[in-house]
Structure 1
């Protein structure tokens, strides 16, 4: 009997301990669920607040961009109206001068006509006069008056015409600034899971080109390649991300057309004789001709030194012994374009490289010679980024037949 009672007592204690463990586990799970629910609801409330603030900020930014575009359009319109008004005023002033000249010639012609008519009446009267010695004298006097009456030869009459300038929609768009909207994308990873990818993602959609982001990725890869078990350069996620950047924002050529090299060459031809040129004009001519004839980058022209020049009689060779960098030649090359009225806001000094090679290609120079001269290894580089048609060349040729 005693053994049986102790067994029942132990069994009751075991049941109470089991129930206690169940209650404690239930409380812990309930508490954990409550903590997680509150954390998620708080995070959801914070996200809602941030989204609402972002919507308000985005609306304000959109209104600011629209206002900036409108203001710039109004400013351009005012500038166009002002230029038109000035041109009309100039036309009126110059045409008035020419018209005054014509009026003076008309008045002089009328005076000659009146005088001639008066002499003709005298002649008629003398024809009715009796023949005597006085008549002969009067006829001689009339002859002298007729000889004094001179009629000036007519000059070339003035003429005025207007040559329309072909303006395309792209030309108008280039006068107005550009806008950029960054694409909003859902966050797929937590901050602690992103590691080095956070920097590249922060630049996605900010207008940066594929090559810029790829350069940044390479720099980060060299620095953080050992910060994780997976190498950045071998990451599938990073590779897919970079492919998406390339598809959304592929490399684009800077120019859709180029300027006419012959215009620059005709302008440089006026810089003559060389002995009478100023140092500045001589420098502009030399740098422009070097840029056109060699199709080299501006950085390369800056490294040319007379001490490293080798003269072979028919040609000379420069040896480059230092790292290239942009310097004065860029400013000189742009100044030549500016003197010709070429828009340096569109065309930089680097445009000489595309203009000269495009001109050479259209003139029949072989692609191999062009690639060799410009130091290109891939013909696609020339075709995609440098080979361009002349600005409005077709339209100008057609409209020139109307002159």
Structure 2
């Protein structure tokens, strides 16, 4: 991977595009009630967590490291429920850092009465477990809270999003009828390339969004991307890579050929952007995960897939289900898609394939 003759180099110098979000410059209002301080207009939604650690004498520098243990997506998920919790406590004059067990159960019951799903209520339980303990244990692990959540599951069990999945051959046939890559507009080439990449790699939109030219190696038969920090990343886990190999028997379906043409067309448009996928509209800046998802969904719709039913993420189930039906060993599917458990694949992604989309 470190061989210099394999590392991609565009004409000119390519700099990194920062994917970090700027820190908020807003302010928070502090209200005191009971024996505790409640943060209103909370900037990141998780000030209750930080206050709890500060109560324990944790220094600011240590706290900054602890904050990084929650990924941005997790903090975003938790923030909404923590704000609901602080609002719930404010209305009832509850000590939001030191509630009773009954306070916790009443809060979860309130969420259930608002018709939230088991998954949402379980996320709220996890959020509260960050800073609330009952009888010396994290609130989410309390036997009665666990029993309550089992009851919620019996009332509103979780369901797989899809019971059936579309046939990848519908999309492949659509691609076969397209013009050659060299004749496609930049928009069509972009949408085709990103959709092919999603199908060939079985990776999440996050992974496709993350790939950078500086973390790309290429030789005459394949591209290899280091994915960096993604959802599957965890301690004691091997670094994750996306490998895109040449498919010489059908050039129109070959992700290697499509990506090569895409990089050639965007070479002079990047203005130093390191992300692989950039906007096909001026000023050709790097795009967000939601934009990549919209591109894939648009392409699937053009191919005849019911995009009212299926999201861009459905490419993960469609490609892995098709691989399983065509005799690819489950171990290879898990490795390619980044699953550590066969149970996860078989339960949520190995779906019945239907021709009628």
Q: TM-score, normalised by structure 2?
A: 0.52
Deviation readout 1:270-293 (Å, 9 max, x if unpaired): 333222110011011101110110
What SS class does the counterpart of residue 327 from structure 1 fall into?
A: helix
- 2:294 alignment partner, one of 313, 318, 331: 331
1:356 Cα deviation after fit: 0.4
**Corresponding position of 1:301:** 208
Cα distance change on mapping 1:224 and 1:273 into 2, 3 Å: same
C-alpha RMSD over aligned residues: 2.5
Deviation readout 1:25-70 (Å, 9 max, x if unpaired): xxxxxxxxxxxxxxxxxxxxxxxxxxxxxxxxxxxxxxxxxxxxxx
**Corresponding position of 2:334:** 371
- 1:224 alignment partner, one of 132, 149, 161: 132
Report the count of equivalent residues: 203
**Corresponding position of 1:390:** 353
Determine which structure has the larger strand proportion and give its number: 2
Cα distance change on mapping 1:229 and 1:195 into 2, 3 Å: farther
Deviation readout 1:51-97 (Å, 9 max, x if unpaired): xxxxxxxxxxxxxxxxxxxxxxxxxxxxxxxxxxxxxxxxxxxxxxx
Cα distance change on mapping 1:323 and 1:375 into 2, 3 Å: closer
Given that 1:271 and 1:285 are in contact with CA atoms closer than 8 Å, whether structure 2 keeps it comes out as no
What SS class does the counterpart of residue 163 from structure 2 fall into?
A: coil
Gaps of 5+ in 1: 1-190, 397-403
Given that 2:198 and 2:205 are in contact with CA atoms closer than 8 Å, whether structure 1 keeps it comes out as yes
**Corresponding position of 2:9:** none
- Measure the CA separation in 1 of the matches of 2:140 and 2:354: 43
- 1:280 alignment partner, one of 168, 173, 187: 187
Cα distance change on mapping 1:234 and 1:264 into 2, 3 Å: closer
Cα distance change on mapping 1:249 and 1:326 into 2, 3 Å: farther
Given that 1:299 and 1:327 are in contact with CA atoms closer than 8 Å, whether structure 2 keeps it comes out as no
Gaps of 5+ in 2: 1-93, 95-99, 232-287
Moved over 6 A (4+): none
- Measure the CA separation in 2 of the matches of 1:301 and 1:206: 36
Question: Counterparts of 1:2-401 in structure 2 under 5 Å?
Answer: 194-204=102-112, 206-225=114-133, 231-321=138-228, 326-391=289-354
- Measure the CA separation in 2 of the matches of 1:252 and 1:223: 29
Q: TM-score, normalised by structure 1?
A: 0.47
Determine which structure has the larger helix proportion and give its number: 1
- Measure the CA separation in 2 of the matches of 1:342 and 1:208: 29
